Amino acid sequence: MFGTTDDNALSCFLSPSMTVTKKHEPADVRINNRMMVFGQIFSSCPMSRAQIGRKTGLSRVAACEVVSDMLDKHFLMENGYEQPTRPGKKGTLVSVDDQYWNVIVLDLSMPFLLQAAVMNLRGEIVTRVEKSFDKITAITPETVIALAESLLDGASHILGFGVAVPGIVDEDGVVVETANFGWKNVPLRKMFQQHFGKFCTVDNDANSALIGERFCGAGRATGIFVQIAVGVGAALLIDDSLVLGIHHAAGEIGHVVVDPDGPQCTCGKRGCLETFISAANLRRRINENPLDRTTILQEAGRSLGHVLAPSVSLLDLDDIFVYGSKDIVDDIFLGATEYAINAEAASTLQNHSIRVQQCSCGNDIVLRGESIAVVQAVLRNANEYKRVPPVGLEPTTQDLKGLCSAN
Amino acid at 330: D
Instruction: Output phi, psi for 404, to 5 deg.
Output: -65, -35
- Report, in Å, the least distance between residue 133 CB and Zn ion: 24
d(CA 230, CA 235): 16
Of 213-221, 244-252, 261-269, 318-326: span binding Zn ion (CB under 5 A): 261-269
d(CA 363, CA 354): 25
Of 193-201, 242-250, 259-267, 287-295: span binding Zn ion (CB under 5 A): 259-267
Smaller CB separation from Zn ion, 281 or 358: 281
- Is residue 280 within the footprint of Zn ion (CB under 5 A)? no
Which one, of 94, 115, 136, lies nearest residue 369 by Cα? 115
Which one, of 39, 95, 54, 91, lies nearest residue 71 by Cα? 95
Smaller CB separation from Zn ion, 152 or 267: 267
Which one, of 369, 361, 401, lies nearest residue 162 by Cα? 369
Q: Is residue 176 left, alpha or beta, with left meaning phi > 0 and alpha meaning psi from -120 to 50?
A: alpha
Of 61-69, 172-180, 263-271, 278-286: span binding Zn ion (CB under 5 A): 263-271
Interface characters, 219-258, with Zn ion (x: CB under 5 A): ------------------------------------x---
- Is residue 273 within the footprint of Zn ion (CB under 5 A)? no
Residue of 50, 267, 280, 406 that binds Zn ion (CB under 5 A): 267
Task: Give the distance from CA 180 to its chain's centroid.
Answer: 20
Burial label for 21, CB within 10 Å (0-12, 13-18, 19+), is exposed
- Is residue 272 within the footprint of Zn ion (CB under 5 A)? yes
Of 190-198, 266-274, 328-336, 379-387: span binding Zn ion (CB under 5 A): 266-274
Smaller CB separation from Zn ion, 76 or 265: 265
- Report, in Å, the least distance between residue 266 CB and Zn ion: 6
What is the binding site for Zn ion (CB under 5 A)?
Answer: 255, 265, 267, 269, 272
